[in-house]
Amino acid sequence: MANDDKTEQPTEKRKREAREEGNVFHSKDIVTVAVLLAGTMILRLRITDIQTTIKSMFFEVLNLMKGSTQNMLSRHLMVSFALDAAVCALPIGLAAAFIEFVAGGAQTRFNFAKKALKPQAKRMNPLNGLKRMFSLKGVVEALKNIAKTVVLVVFVYLILKDDIVPIAKMIDEPISQANSQLFSMMFNLVLRICLAFSVIAAFDFMFQKHQYKKSLMMTKQEVKDEYKNTEGNPEIKGRIKKKQREIAQRRMIQQVPSADVIIRNPTHVAVAIKYDPERAEAPVVLAKGVDSVALRIIEVGEENGVPWIENKPLARALYGACELNDQIPSEYYGAVAELLVYIYKQQNREDIFG
């Protein structure tokens, strides 16, 4: 179906399915810039240690050359250089890997899609590869790579143009001073390249986000079909109703602490009632339930000091005749009024005698 027909915003189901298939928004250039910048900053912080290591390696070579055979020298240097290189590179490598994980995960919300790991024939089809190459996304990728190459060449040229004389003069300077100047030039070069690449990455971020949203767009017919399939599915309907019941039950339980009395039977039925003459002419049912719900009402009532009265016939009658937040029927006025008067008297007696 043509993309022009996809005018509807994606549904939550469409978004969820896309994530399950590994189709998530992701900009590789953002990750590249983050890793490059983080690696450069860590290299800058560790430059003194690296210079010290290089210097010690240089002196070690000189010392070994004085009294060692060629084979012993080669073996020893290989092991020594490998260990020193690992010490220098490991912190930078670990930091770069961590930054790559965080920068990538932050974009995808650390989505792990098992379906994306399964081999698919369409991925190995060379025709699909050619289509991607000549698609809008492929053209943009090519333009970005050209832009990166141009930026890299221009910045290297500018740095060398300005610093070619100082670099030539380093021959006459002490090794430590020459190293410091050379590392400083390299740091400035990489930092400028990072800043330039950040502009390209920002463009890539906006482009990838636009393309991702566009890929999830739906046709009107797709939205209608999804609605029919979803609403007509008994399992989904059941889950929706169950969720609605749970929400309604939580709201009901939250009203129990403000009740005047709980009428129970003794654990199978419970009805929480409140009488506020300023708001209603008759007592109102705040909560009601049987079995586990009744036990929960009683439990919350006890936790909040709501008095209760055991009256099996009245509890059953009110449970069957009343809806939540409705006034009790007139035929129960007398029975409920007697209970409320009794409760009020008990409360007044407690207030007087402490």
The CATH number of the domain holding residue 305 is: 3.40.1690.10
Q: Which residue, 192, 209, 227, sits at the end of a domain? A: 227
Task: Write down the H helix ranges in 68-122.
Answer: 70-108
Residue 128 reports pLDDT greater than 70? no
pLDDT recorded at residue 139: 76
Residue 240 lies in a domain: no
Within this chain, do residues 101 and 171 fall inside the same structural domain, yes or no?
yes
Domain count, the chain: 2
Q: Same structural domain for residues 191 and 315?
A: no
Q: Which of 182, 188, 189 is nearest to 157 (CA)?
A: 189
Q: Is 158 a member of any domain?
A: yes
pLDDT grade, residue 304 (50/70/90)?
A: very high
pLDDT of residue 272: 93
Average of per-residue pLDDT across 20-28 = 78
Provide the 10 A C-beta neighbour count for residue 72: 11
Could you tell me if 277 and 285 are in contact, meaning their C-beta atoms sit under 8 angstroms apart? no
Nearest CA to 268 among 297, 302, 237, 305?
297
Structure confidence by residue, pLDDT tens digits, 144-171: 788 888 877 887 777 777 666 666 666 6
Q: At what angle do helices 220-231 and 234-255 cross, to 10 degrees?
A: 70
Residue 64: predicted pLDDT: 63
259 and 215 fall within a common domain: no
Task: Give me the domain span that covers residue 342.
Answer: 253-353
Q: List the single range of 233-242, 255-264, 318-327 with lowest mean pLDDT.
A: 233-242
Q: Which range has highest mean pLDDT (1-5, 66-70, 307-311)?
A: 307-311
Q: CA separation (Å) from 24 to 144, 165, 216, 330?
A: 21, 49, 10, 60
Same domain, 46 and 129: yes
For a pLDDT cut of 70, what percent of the chain falls above it? 77
Q: How does DSSP classify residue 232?
A: T
DSSP 57: H
End-to-end CA distance of the chain: 79
Q: Is residue 245 part of a domain?
A: no
Evaluate whether residue 242 is within a structural domain: no
Give, as one character, the DSSP assignment of residue 324: T
**pTM to 2 decimals?**
0.49
For residue 300, the model assigns a pLDDT of: 92
Largest separation between any pair of C-alpha atoms in the chain = 113
Amino acid 1: pLDDT: 45
d(CA 318, CA 313): 9
Residue 99 has pLDDT above 80, yes or no: yes
**Average pLDDT score over the chain:** 78
Q: 319 and 197, same structural domain? A: no
Q: Are 208 and 145 within one domain?
A: yes
pLDDT at site 239? 80
| Backbone angles phi and psi of 119, in degrees to 5 | -65, 135
Answer whether 258's CB lies under 8 Å from 303's CB: no
- Whether residues 37 and 155 share a domain: the answer is yes
